[in-house]
Structure 1
């Protein structure tokens, strides 16, 4: 996100001496993307950010996948995956729902603080379905609540601290996640036709220095396991939250879905108007409460459409999703409409929608440009009947 911020104590000139009150030199770390050619931030550490005391393997949560064969539309009932958050945390308790080489979609219900965690494979976009808490990071902390997207850049050391049960829908990239390029100026400012702007984004608070020795950090990284991933635990001599100040354009931030301003028209608008973020070979959209088509002969629900190039995943968060009435889908459901299969509203929903002036619905959609496979959480939550719902 090319939106400059600074926090804490930094020197007037970068790459120059910066000392503590007792004269000790702070250690400068550049955290940057694309080999010094994209967004970056400079962080000033009390300790040595590269220092480790020991390392061991970490067994990642089950990342094995099963192809969607025979090719079927699926209804996955995510609320069936967890009885509650007791004994679960947002990092190690995730259950993989859908995955391909570009993105992994998981779901978790958690109430325990997570271990310190660093995803070294890509950015994460975590949508908070319900619950509150704090995302603690090396940059500072972010309070979160229902409807928040939290964007955590690749290799950011962080942990999740819920205040009771938190329901989180986790979208992990194998690259970076950013606002759509068509909403950005040449220099990275969100433009006037964007459905949100910089004022809607919440950055972390002031960095916090913690003096704790012998701390463990869980790292997900490229390796030889399922999906080309492996896990490692580093034991570090000083707590990673030892930053006295930082500045730059790379940092975690939050955006609440209630601040997304929907784009509407006289006739039905295509899904790109709902886009909120993009990654490599996938996009993230959200459908929010809004006025709908106002042409006198408009049909407000979507027309049938074939996903020629993509799989479409819709997570139903709140409200009453008009196009799916009669399909069994409700809050906490995920629909998978795979490329190669036409899909659209339930037949009875088309006529019923005519004359509607607004829709009260909230959903998060991920469209991928490579086929998705089912993770163990997807297989466990599949209702087994959704593909036949259009003939009922």
Structure 2
């Protein structure tokens, strides 16, 4: 769980009238990790977020499991791969998967997305092996730097823009369940404890809003059950004037990860960075 954060303009109380300068109402939306029992945030839209202009034909977006591979030993040599596809979605190449998690690489030729993406199947985690850029979402702008873990909660609508110069290599992890900070690092109210290898100061939430007010044709590609569903809106999904809560994408740099070390080799749990359903993510660092 990240900490409470807020950006932009919000009303003093939730679920109350919040009016625009012309007297019309802002539209309140609640987004959550586990329905009404998980962490959540409240977002305030200029336009109605359910006004769909058109729905296009869905496209297949899934990976075939190598059923005949068995228990053969495998060395996945990915460092020599220059490009894995044209754009961000086309370039996602999942290499390992089961019912809990998929993980793979992504090195797109195009550095900017001209559409928005929403994963309705699960949380995502990107590791920026090489590259720099900006993530734009309903929650605002988030800087992407080399060495960053980027935790993206399920149903976050976002697009990425990376700098043109230099290599771009991403590790992509998709989790069936929420990706969270490690439970044993937290106290009973969710604050990271003194023995945690990182603290709230190391977590970078979106730092400023990015409000897109212009009407037009905005494509949101939604991943759900092996398909990319094509939703077009006549306004941007990034029409948020303010939000607050505990659910939002955030960055954690590998350079700020400091596990407790000892005179001899420590067991793998000291390197755990995140937890999820059925798996953990560890960072083995000096």
TM-score by length of structure 1 reads 0.69
CA distance in 1, matches of 2:70, 2:28: 53
Separation in 2, partners of 1:280, 1:15: 32
Moved more, 263-272 or 33-42: 263-272
CA distance in 2, matches of 1:188, 1:254: 18
Distance 1:43 1:95, change over 3 A: same
Question: 2:14 maps to which residue?
Answer: 14
Are the aligned partners of 1:90 and 1:168 in contact in 2 as well (CA < 8 Å)?
no
Distance 2:21 2:150 in 1: 35
CA contact (8 A) 1:123 1:173 kept: yes
Structure 1, unaligned runs of 5 or more: 223-228, 290-392
User: Over alpha carbons, which structure has the higher Rg?
Assistant: 1
Larger helix proportion, structure 1 or 2? 1
Alpha-carbon displacement from aligned partner over 1:340-378 (angstroms, at most 9, x marks no partner):
xxxxxxxxxxxxxxxxxxxxxxxxxxxxxxxxxxxxxxx
Aligned residues: 281
C-alpha distance in 1, partners of 2:215/2:68?
A: 47
Query: What does the per-residue CA deviation read over 1:174-196, in whole Å, with 9 as the maximum and x for residues that have no partner?
Result: 11100111111111111111000
Report 1:1-392 matches (<5 A). 1-67=1-67, 69-81=69-81, 83-84=82-83, 88-110=86-108, 111-114=110-113, 115-164=115-164, 165-210=167-212, 211-222=214-225, 229-289=226-286
For residue 50 of structure 1, give the secondary structure of its aligned residue in structure 2: coil
CA distance, structure 2, for counterparts of residue 104 and residue 50 of structure 1: 30
Q: Aligned to 2:69, what secondary structure does the other structure show?
A: coil
User: Does the Cα contact within 8 Å between 1:61 and 1:95 map onto a contact in 2?
Assistant: no
Q: Which moved more, 1:135-144 or 1:240-249?
A: 135-144
Structure-2 change in CA distance of 1:103 and 1:53 (3 Å): same
Whether the aligned pair in 1 keeps the contact of 2:220 and 2:232 (CA below 8 Å) is yes
Does the 8 Å contact 2:2/2:200 carry over to 1? no
Closer/same/farther in 2, CA of residues 29 and 259 from structure 1, 3 Å limit: same
Deviation at 1:206, TM superposition (A): 2.2
Q: Which structure is higher in RCO with an 8 Å CA cutoff and minimum separation 6?
A: 2
Residue 264 of structure 1: CA displacement?
1.3
SS at match of 1:78: coil
Cα pair 2:125 2:152 within 8 Å, conserved: yes
Q: CA deviation at 1:60?
A: 4.0
Cα deviations by residue, 1:247-269 (Å, 9 ceiling, x for unpaired): 00000000000000022123321
Is the 1:153–1:250 contact (alpha carbons within 8 Å) kept by the matching residues of 2? Answer: yes
1:113 and 1:263 mapped to 2: Cα distance? 39
How big is the alpha-carbon RMSD for the aligned residues of Structure 1 and Structure 2? 1.6
CA drift of 1:61 comes to 4.2
Residue 230 of structure 1 deviates from its aligned partner by: 2.2
User: In the alignment, is the contact (CA less than 8 A) between 1:63 and 1:96 conserved in 2?
Assistant: yes
Whole-angstrom distance in 2 between the partners of 1:279 and 1:67: 25
Return the alpha-carbon distance in structure 2 between the equivalents of residues 209 and 122 of structure 1: 25
Shift of 1:152: 0.6
Moved over 4 A (4+): none
